[in-house]
Structure 1
Amino acid sequence: MNTAQTMLICDDEEELAHELGEYFTSLGWRVELSVTAENAIGHLRQGLAPRVLITDLRIGAVDGRQVVAEARALPEALRPALIIIITGHVMHNVAAADFDSDFLYVKPVDPNDILDDIAAGLAGGTTAGG
């Protein structure tokens, strides 16, 4: 499977997940959507190998941290190059690294900002968090 442009988006806010999915699909990404962490973890375990993983932090009984942990535990060839967390909960004095992710955004998110950070991250730029 060509993973160069594959993205997994996991968010229990279906409208947001679909909007992000449509945005990235329009730019040529192959996007898989999950509205539960369990489903996202299933995709990862079945070998989806997304280049980028975007997950909500709080998505039910199994949260985004567990999705990230599953992604980080994959063999290197299947592991996402970038992991992005989005959350609707304002958190002070936290950084993406606190969640073992490359970028952290507080909703509402601007997909253009995410795209810019993905481009920089995949090009080897620094990860700073949204």
Structure 2
Amino acid sequence: MSETATLLVVDDEPELREILSEYFDNQGLIVHTAASAEEARAVFSKKLPDVAILDIRMPGEDGISLARWIRDQHKDMGIIMLTTAGDVVDRVVGLEMGADDYVPKPFDLRELLARVKSVLRRRSETSKENKPAREGRMHFGICELDLAMHRLYDSEGNEKPITAMEFDLLKVFAEHPNRALNRDQLMELAHNKDWGVFDRSIDLRIMRLRRKIEPNPEKPEVIKTVRGIGYMYVTS
């Protein structure tokens, strides 16, 4: 990270906000905190953070609703969800809302820092504002992927929202065309072993990608399911 990254921690527990604020500050990061989704939006109106760390279980508007709003309004922002240990439903819904990662409570501060750095690294290219030229793009169904700029475009040249993890998966498929890859291979190749996700999250991300790139997501022809193995990117 060449520039000092800015984090926003949104959690209704004052003690946890204080601990995270002090810890990340000691790591050289700029930290803002909010006790609710309403306070978080007030922070957004003044300064957009690079990564938002959201507690899912909060009084009033929860972290999932806030994550949906962030992804709609600020597609390049990194999102890490803090979930209850063992709550698969929260993880699934959070990922479907476009979160980049999740960390179950209770967690080790060093692990959370590693996740933050990983999200920052993956999203570094998406912060560039200049729209890339068509040269260097790859076709994925009805879309084009720009590997250098980490952006996805539809057939009319309009940018389509894509999370860093979705980009990583498309990049893996682009580098391994017409080859069946299992979930472990996809996670290892896409995340360099630093993202300890449950393997069903791969299925959710594939489903989201199909909705964006397939002419008919119900009958995928670009990213096909290979029974008993995993998935394959089929080039035309």
Establish whether TM, by shorter chain, passes 0.5: yes
1:70 corresponding residue in structure 2: 69
Are the counterparts in 2 of residues 57 and 65 from structure 1 also a CA contact under 8 Å? yes
Q: Which amino acid aligns with 2:88?
A: H
Residue 10 (structure 1) aligns with: 10
Q: Which runs of 5+ in 1 are unaligned?
A: none
Q: For residue 64 of structure 1, report the CA deviation from its aligned partner.
A: 0.4
C-alpha distance in structure 1 between counterparts of 2:32 and 2:48, whole Å: 11
Structure 2 letter corresponding to 1:38: E
Partner-residue secondary structure (3-state), 1:123: helix
Q: What secondary structure is seen at the aligned counterpart in 2 of 1:60?
A: coil
CA distance in 1, matches of 2:109, 2:11: 14
CA distance in structure 2 between the partners assigned to 1:13 and 1:87 by the alignment: 14
Instruction: Check 1:5–1:58 CA distance in 2 against 1; reply closer, same or farther (3 A cut).
Output: same
CA distance in 2, matches of 1:120, 1:106: 16
CA distance in 2, matches of 1:117, 1:57: 17
In 2, Cα distance between the equivalents of 1:99 and 1:74?
13
Aligned to 2:142: none
Q: Matched residues in 2 for 1:70 and 1:43: separation? A: 14
1:128 aligns with 2:188: no
Give the one of 96, 99, 102 matched to 2:100.
102
Who wins on radius of gyration, i.e. which is larger? 2
What secondary structure, in the 3-state scheme, does the structure 2 residue paired with 1:120 have?
helix
1:56, distance to aligned residue in structure 2 (A):
0.3
Match of 1:28 in 2: 28
**1:117 — aligned with what?**
115
Look up the equivalent residue of 1:5 and give its one-letter code: A
- In structure 1, C-alpha distance between the alignment counterparts of 2:20 and 2:31, rounded to whole Å: 9
2:86 matched to which residue of 1?
90
Letter in 2 for 1:128: W
1:128 deviation in Å? 3.3
> Residue type matched to 1:102 in 2?
D
Contact 1:85 1:101 in 2 (8 A): yes
- Relative to the length of structure 1, the TM-score reads 0.81
Across the two proteins, how many residue pairs are aligned to each other? 124
Does residue 56 (structure 1) correspond to residue 55 (structure 2)? The answer is yes
Name structure 2 gaps, 5 residues minimum. 123-189, 198-236
Pairwise CA distance, 1:4 = 4.4
CA contact (8 A) 1:9 1:54 kept: yes
Which structure exhibits the higher relative contact order, with contacts defined as CA atoms closer than 8 Å and separated by 6 or more residues? Answer: 1
